[in-house]
Amino acid sequence: MMLRYYVKTTGQYAGAASVADGQDPAAAFNPLRDAGYIEVPEAAPSGEWFWDFANLSWHLPASASAERSWRDSELAEWIWLRDRHRDQLDLEVAPSLEPHQFTELLIYLQQLRDWPQAGEFPEMSERPTAPDFLEQLRSGYEPQ
């Protein structure tokens, strides 16, 4: 088996497709090539890297590093709230969050974890959006 590597037209790594030994790569079914992705000679170091078509090499855009830093700080800002809610439930005291708020928090934390692998990464305008109640907490309101 031979692996062929593909990027989106933006240069973001899209993945790899295999071609059987001895098979004509141009004739083999290839979902990435057939979807319009562009073949490159090697895999990306990680999903954050982009292919530089001019220099034929991988690079890590400054915006990707900044977005990962934003994501890491956003996760760190809200982990305490998840932990407090779980502790309150374990202690059998009234939790500070409503059940739907806790669900929204968990969904947001997962979206943050998934952000670097999203097709829109590292576009700031496409960042995961915090639920309204988190924005209220950020501005000083704390649920009781």
Over residues 89-107, mean pLDDT: 97
> For the ranges 46-50, 63-67, 96-100, 110-114, which has the lowest average pLDDT?
46-50
Beta strands in the chain (DSSP E): 2-7, 13-19, 38-40, 50-52, 57-59
**Mean of the per-residue pLDDT values of the chain:** 89
Q: How far apart are CA 33 and CA 29, in angstroms?
A: 9
Q: How far apart are CA 83 and CA 85, in angstroms?
A: 5
Over residues 45-67, mean pLDDT: 85
Decide if pLDDT at 48 tops 90.
no
Overall pTM surpassing 0.95 (yes/no)? no
Over residues 109-137, mean pLDDT: 92
Q: How far apart are CA 142 and CA 133, in angstroms?
A: 9
Q: Would you state the pLDDT for residue 52?
A: 87
Q: Sign of the C-alpha dihedral, residues 19, 20, 22, 27?
A: negative
Q: How far apart are CA 103 and CA 97, in angstroms?
A: 10
